Amino acid sequence: MNGIEQDRAQTAAPATAPIGLPVEIGDDGIVTLRLGRSDERVVTITPERMSDLAAALDRIASDTRVRGVIVTGPNLPAEGPGMFCAGADIQLIDSIADAAAGEAAATRGRTLLARLQQLRVPVVAAIDGPCLGGGCELALFCDVRLATDEPGTQIGLPEVKLGILPGFGGTQTLPRLLGLPKALDLILTGRLLRGKQALRTGLVDRLVPRTKLLAAARAEVEKLAAKDRKRPARRLRGLAFWLSKTPLRWFAARAATQQLQRGPGRFYPAPHAALQSCLNAFTMPVEQGFAAEARQLGRLVVTPISKGLLRLFFLTERSKRLGKHDAARDLQRALVVGGGVMGAGIACELAQRGLAVRLCDLDLQALVRGKARLGKELDKRVRRKRLTAPEAMAIQDRLQASTEWGHLRDTDLWLEAVVEDLQVKRKLMGLAIERGLPEHAVLATNTSSLSVTAMAEGLPHPERVVGIHFFNPPEKMPLVEVIRGATTDDATVATACRLAVRMGKFPVVVGDAPGFLVNRCLAPYLNEAARLVLEGTAPEAVDKAMLDLGMPMGPCRLLDEVGFDVATKVSEVLQNGFPERMQPCELFAAMAGAGLLGQKTGGGIYGKDGKRPGPGRKVIAELRAAHGTPGREASRSEIVQRLIYPMVDEAYRCVDEGIVAHEDDVDLGLVMGIGFPPFTGGITRYARREGLSTIVHALDELARLHGPRFEVSDGMRRRATS
Amino acid sequence: MSKKTDRSGDLAIIAGLRTPFCKAGGAMQRASAGDLASFAIRELLDRVDIDRRAVDEVILGCAGADAREANVARVAALRAGLPEHTPAMTVMRNCASGMEAILAAQTKMRAGEGEVFVVGGAESMSNFPLLMGPALVKFFTRLGKARSLGQRVRALTSFRFGALRPRVAIVEGLTDPTTGLMMGETAELVARRFGIERAQMDQFALRSHERAAAAQQAEMFVDELTAFLPPDHRGAITADDGVRSNQTLEALAKLKPVFDRHNGDVTVGNSCQITDGAVALLCTTAKKAKALGLSPLAYVRGTSTAGLSPRVMGLGPVHATPGALQRAGIGFDDLDLVEINEAFAAQVLGCVRAFADDGYCRQQLGLSGAIGELDPHKLNVDGGAIALGHPIAATGARLVLTLARALRQRDQRYGLATLCIGGGQGQAIVLEAA
């Protein structure tokens, strides 16, 4: 069967395969196999593409003129963002409902991709753009891998981040290629590599500029074809050899295991399974190793953990789409007023994302600290070769720190991060307009507690006033609450979201009510933790219960980090908003009154190291004594019920009151904002699994014992009964 | 007195800013000329209500540009956020480079090559390099060319420790190669020519510090200075650090002469300080300023550059001034304020004498008589380079900025900014306050 018609081959026009994978055969017998049609911007592995690929491979295998194959993405060498293959379609992964189906799908995919290796001619992967998961596994079955050093080129196996493991042979092929230690580093972390890093690791064989990629791939094919060889000789050497091919691999495995058991790793089974599977690559016959991998994939893909992580992935994608709104504008020049920790941190982030930023504060020392903070961060990245020195210099140049605002004619983002005082903020916004801030500019506030609507009131063009609430520290925290005031228009909200996405953050649009979303849901949690402590439960026990649930940090530790001054201030605002539910625990004021603010003053409930008991224990003891009631240690389940269940109720209230548009927003917001365990898929998923009626019953009981702060909202009660 | 002349070709100085001037090897030592200039330009353009795209060209003076940023104006322009399509050049006329940038802008504007210019000067004297001596260059060349083992061994063994002796760029740069005289030695010659004594020089140096200190005290510099945040993040620099408010005559008198140890009078105390700093000015035409809605600070009414014997280069201002006055259409006595760069007290005092010297003006300038008596109250009213420092190429622009600012603050009309130039030249600009 000759699938490639002569005339098409001569004109080098893409031969239209049944579903559309272009296969071009040149006069020199070198086939260019494209993984997608030229109009496809994203290439994912779907059943259709797989059967298409199978057909293409049939034809290539049966055509004796073929001397070699180049596998590449849909677009090369055209302009525009690159794309190789972004891996298996995640919707499809999500739809797999039983383990046997998962195992079968993995086996099918791997068998197909392995045919690239089984071709008698050399196969060269020409990679430009994302080469992820299944796409990377496809490339691993090729004989030679070439990649571009474009910023869009990212290569890796991120499967563990979705709670599964590479199922198309990745845990077998990658360790054999790179050796166990390097392969584990990539597979267990799901880390993606840019071109240069991939070259250094050995994942790709050569870096080539984009315009020369196809020519270089052709040359590689010719080189192998001339020698009549299928693949270049490659062998593990040195330490990689000893730690892979000999029983010494036990050391590599042990090091990886130890790494996994640190932190929240214990909640995720995928990396452990991946580790075992990688070891199989050296201890089992090839086919058995592949089979074991597929079995593991089937087992993992149906776990609730994987489903939760997949959901989170979809939520982040949804959040990123907020920036693609038609009305959203790209911002160029920012004026950040207030050089404190938040202001300077935000300014640094903006400068790094290409905005020209003016950071203004009357305190020159604060400005110096802000610049130094950026300098330190940039130096670190230059040392690690993440940035070149000129790139770092350009970023540093873009952050101009001054006591003067200067003129505002080019400013399209004015953002304040000054003291939380409505009058001060209003005055500054008025001043910005007086000083000639253009009408199209966004007036943003980083307030965590004040009303955006109240700030905008009386200003000309209040529709452009918006809250952009970053969390502390802004360089680390991935969530941004975009607060829509009563007068804020869609374009402004969309522009703020776009900015957040550009900064690598996940925006959540929230309504203008006390505490917005995250702080509002966090308040009952922190309040209740403090109450439990005052009732006699050890802070360590409270924290441990939450850590065991998968929270990244216990509430008492978190209070130390946030600081009792901030906690007092925020809880006052929330108390005003929701007096019946959010009476702040007296511990906050007592600690703040004693000058024990937490980590910033050298210790609070915990000491400076965050582990040992801190000076705040004395305050706790005094308060406990003043209560006079005998201390009572709460059980683990009581802790969970009293901390998490009110948060669930509050989350549903936010949905019902329209603070957020959708349950999805709550789920993403609490995972990204306070680290609610990602594997749950979000707090509403967690609640469903626990059972809404169980939660309602527990809360009713708590309300009976402790008062109205546990009262269940109507919306929640309705959901529980429906 | 002044003829009715066409003034449409005069530059209007809209605004200017400079970094503080700091002693070389001090607070700004980690900043290159490019760092300093880009900071000044960015700050200037952030403060003046103008679209960066309106700037037609950036012209900066720099006398000792680092090899890494030879066209420092281009580097600074890009780093300051000017569009990539805006051209930039660096000009060099030794100590007048910063003033030359203004003259270059004027020339370009009159030739129709642009209307809005960012001009200025930048110098990081901290970063003047040590250069490889010729012996070391020869050694490396030989080593580089050696191919066989024998050649390499021979090349390596040709090394002599004496070759490590570096050439000091700052010393060589301050020496006139045609006469072999260091700048300070030319100042000694000026002093001898006019019989200026050590005590007079020290007195003048003291005056410079006193006036600068008083100006700092009265916050006169606020309008021309911006705080500089150095790249090593060691605190903000808010003021010129060479000014000594506690300077005394006794302390100055104790200093030993540096250029002529036995018979000389020029000391480090009565010479300018070696400093780092940058100045940026925005200039355009009166018409364009109006169109952009900007109000000028001052107009450049006359400019002139003149040459003289390199041996007495310190008298350059005397030679340059008549031309500038003539083009401005005013007389010497019409000047309200005069800025003569204080390279050396001896040389400034020499200029004052020469201005009033009938014989000198006749013989050397071919004038019919003396240029005029310079009222000391008009001269360097807020101190000069002896106190503030002389970052070579920045100074010319600093004088113009300082003069424009001082004219405005004192509500005066005409001012002269002039300086002497190593190699035997002088340059002068006459400003009229707007």
pLDDT score for A18 = 52
Q: Hey, what are B303's tokens?
A: 């400019």
Mean pLDDT, range A86-99, rounded to an integer: 93
pLDDT score for A1 = 35
- For B387, residues 6+ apart whose C-beta sits below 8 A from its C-beta are B208, B209, B211, B212, B213, B240, B242, B243, B244, B273
Radius of gyration of chain B (CA): 22
- For A140, residues 6+ apart whose C-beta sits below 8 A from its C-beta are A169, A170, A173, A174, A177
Most confident of the ranges A222-236, A477-491, B145-159: A477-491
- Contact state of A407 with B52 under an 8 Å Cβ cutoff: no
Q: Mutate which of A359, A371, A400 to disrupt the B interface (most B C-beta within 10 Å)?
A: A400
- Contact state of A371 with B226 under an 8 Å Cβ cutoff: no
Closest alpha carbon to A174 in A30, A53, A279, A28: A279
Single-letter code of the amino acid located at B316: G
At residue A363, the 3 state secondary structure works out as: coil
- Contact state of B233 with A375 under an 8 Å Cβ cutoff: yes
DSSP symbols for B381-398: TT--HHHH---HHHHHHH
A397 touches chain B (CB under 8 A): yes
B49 touches chain A (CB under 8 A): yes
At residue B131, the 3 state secondary structure works out as: strand
Q: Hey, what are A630's tokens?
A: 């005998």
Mean pLDDT, range A442-468, rounded to an integer: 94
Closest alpha carbon to A53 in A5, A1, A114: A114
Q: Which of B43, B52, B235 sits opposite A402 (nearest CB)?
A: B43
At which residue do the structure tokens 């597929």 appear? A294
Q: Mutate which of A348, A355, A373, A407 to disrupt the B interface (most B C-beta within 10 Å)?
A: A407
A356 touches chain B (CB under 8 A): yes
pLDDT score for B132 = 85
The pLDDT of residue A628 is above 80: no
Determine contact, residues A709/A722, Cβ cutoff 8 Å. no
Determine contact, residues A128/A153, Cβ cutoff 8 Å. yes
Closest alpha carbon to B347 in B247, B424, B240: B424
CA distance linking residue B58 with residue B52, whole number of Å: 11
Which residues of A are known to be catalytic? Answer: 469
**Residues of B in Cβ contact (< 8 Å) with A365:** 235-236
pTM of the full structure? 0.90
The shortest C-alpha distance from B11 to chain A (Å) reads 23
Q: Which of B47, B79, B80 sits opposite A406 (nearest CB)?
A: B47
pLDDT score for A4 = 36
pLDDT score for B130 = 84
Range from A71-75, A229-233, A558-562 carrying the lowest mean pLDDT: A229-233
The pLDDT of residue A308 is above 90: yes
Mean pLDDT, range A263-270, rounded to an integer: 84
The total number of residues written for chain A in this structure: 722
Give the residue from chain B lying closest to A358, CA to CA.
B46
The pLDDT of residue B2 is above 50: no
Q: Hey, what are A103's tokens?
A: 């195992």
Q: Hey, what are A631's tokens?
A: 């201390």
Q: Hey, what are A434's tokens?
A: 């007086």
CA distance linking residue B316 with residue B305, whole number of Å: 9
The total number of residues written for chain B in this structure: 434
Instruction: Pick A6 or B233 by higher pLDDT.
Output: B233
Q: Show which of residues 6-45 on chain B sit within 8 Å of chain A, judged by CB atoms.
A: 38-39, 42-43
- Contact state of B81 with A375 under an 8 Å Cβ cutoff: no
Q: Domain B11-128+272-428, what fold?
A: Peroxisomal Thiolase; Chain A, domain 1 (3.40.47)
Q: What are the Cα distances from residue A273, in Å, to A188, A279, B197?
A: 10, 10, 91
At residue A294, the 3 state secondary structure works out as: helix
Q: Hey, what are A390's tokens?
A: 């000129």
CA distance linking residue A392 with residue A29, whole number of Å: 47
Give the residue from chain B lying closest to A397, CA to CA.
B79
CA distance linking residue A309 with residue A682, whole number of Å: 9
Q: Please confirm, yes or no, whether B420 is among the known catalytic residues.
A: yes
Instruction: Give A29-96 as a 3 state SS string.
Output: CEEEEECCCCCCCCCCECHHHHHHHHHHHHHHHHCCCCCEEEEECCCCCCCCCCCCECCECHHHHHHC
pLDDT score for A610 = 86
CA distance linking residue B40 with residue B47, whole number of Å: 11
Range from B13-22, B144-153, B190-199 carrying the lowest mean pLDDT: B144-153
Express each pLDDT in B329-364 by its tens digit. Answer: 999 999 999 999 999 999 999 999 999 999 999 999
Q: Hey, what are A398's tokens?
A: 């873009």
Tell whether omega for the bond before B83 is within 30 degrees of 0, i.e. cis. Answer: no
A257 touches chain B (CB under 8 A): no
Closest alpha carbon to A355 in A331, A391, A372, A374: A331
Determine contact, residues A713/A647, Cβ cutoff 8 Å. no
pLDDT score for A19 = 55
Provide the pairing of β-strand A356-360 with A399-402: parallel
Q: Which of A371, A398, A410 sits opposite B229 (nearest CB)?
A: A371
Q: Which of B39, B226, B236 sits opposite A367 (nearest CB)?
A: B236
State the helix-helix crossing angle for B198-217 and B345-355, rounded to 10 degrees.
Answer: 100
- For A222, residues 6+ apart whose C-beta sits below 8 A from its C-beta are A28, A30, A68
Express each pLDDT in A214-240 by its tens digit. Answer: 999 999 999 998 888 887 767 888 899
pLDDT score for B4 = 62
Mean pLDDT, range A140-159, rounded to an integer: 95
Maximal C-alpha separation, chain A: 95
Determine contact, residues A314/A685, Cβ cutoff 8 Å. no
**Residues of B in Cβ contact (< 8 Å) with A398:** 81
Give the residue from chain A lying closest to B234, CA to CA.
A368
Alpha helices in B85-220 (DSSP H): 97-110, 134-145, 149-157, 169-173, 183-194, 198-217
Q: Report the mean per-residue pLDDT for chain A.
A: 92
For A425-545, strand residue ranges (E) read 442-445, 465-470, 479-484, 506-511
Backbone dihedral region for residue B375 (phi beyond 0: left; psi -120 to 50: alpha; all else: beta):
beta
Q: Show which of residues 427-466 on chain A sit within 8 Å of chain B, judged by CB atoms.
A: 436
Rounded percentage of chain A residues whose pLDDT exceeds 70: 97
B311 touches chain A (CB under 8 A): no
Three-point CA angle B145, B149, B152, nearest 5°: 45
**Residues of B in Cβ contact (< 8 Å) with A336:** none
- Beta partners for residue A400, in sequence order: A358
CA distance linking residue A475 with residue A585, whole number of Å: 30
Closest alpha carbon to A645 in A690, A599, A598: A690
* Cα A710 versus chain centre, distance: 33
- Contact state of B236 with A404 under an 8 Å Cβ cutoff: no
With cut-offs at 50, 70 and 90, classify the pLDDT of residue B134: confident
For A195-292, strand residue ranges (E) read 206-207
**Residues of A in Cβ contact (< 8 Å) with B38:** 397
The shortest C-alpha distance from A367 to chain B (Å) reads 8
CA distance linking residue A483 with residue A665, whole number of Å: 13
Three-point CA angle A572, A576, A581, nearest 5°: 90
CA distance linking residue A508 with residue A221, whole number of Å: 49
Express each pLDDT in A563-580 by its tens digit. Answer: 999 899 888 889 999 999
Closest alpha carbon to A471 in A527, A522, A513: A522
Provide the pairing of β-strand A144-147 with A206-207: parallel
Architecture of the domain delimited by A327-511: 3-Layer(aba) Sandwich (3.40)
Q: Report the mean per-residue pLDDT for chain B.
A: 95
A348 touches chain B (CB under 8 A): no
**Residues of B in Cβ contact (< 8 Å) with A437:** none
Determine contact, residues B73/B104, Cβ cutoff 8 Å. no
Identify the CATH assignment for A518-658+691-721 out of 3.40.309.10, 1.10.1040.50, 3.40.50.1580, 3.40.640.10: 1.10.1040.50
B22, B272, B283, B420: the active-site residue: B420
Radius of gyration of chain A (CA): 29
Closest alpha carbon to B312 in B269, B279, B276, B357: B357
Maximal C-alpha separation, chain B: 81
Identify the CATH assignment for A6-302 out of 3.90.226.10, 3.30.930.10, 3.90.1280.10, 3.20.20.70: 3.90.226.10
CA distance linking residue A424 with residue A445, whole number of Å: 12
Residue A41: count of CB within 10 angstroms of its CB: 11
A358 touches chain B (CB under 8 A): yes
Range from A263-272, A517-526, A651-660, B407-416 carrying the lowest mean pLDDT: A263-272
Express each pLDDT in A1-35 by its tens digit. Answer: 333 333 333 333 333 345 578 888 888 899 999 99
CA distance linking residue A137 with residue A159, whole number of Å: 11
pLDDT score for B354 = 97
B295 touches chain A (CB under 8 A): no
Provide the pairing of β-strand A356-360 with A333-337: parallel
Mean pLDDT, range A126-143, rounded to an integer: 96
Single-letter code of the amino acid located at A606: Y
Q: Show which of residues 377-396 on chain A sit within 8 Å of chain B, judged by CB atoms.
A: 393-394, 396
- For B131, residues 6+ apart whose C-beta sits below 8 A from its C-beta are B166, B167, B168, B169, B172
B222 touches chain A (CB under 8 A): no
Q: Mutate which of B233, B292, B294 to disrupt the A interface (most A C-beta within 10 Å)?
A: B233
Express each pLDDT in B278-292 by its tens digit. Answer: 999 999 999 999 999
Q: If you count residue pairs, one on A and one on B, with CB atoms under 8 Å apart, how many are there?
A: 54
A691 touches chain B (CB under 8 A): no
Give the residue from chain A lying closest to B51, CA to CA.
A410
Q: Hey, what are B325's tokens?
A: 């006055």
Give the DSSP letter of residue B161: G
With cut-offs at 50, 70 and 90, classify the pLDDT of residue B399: very high
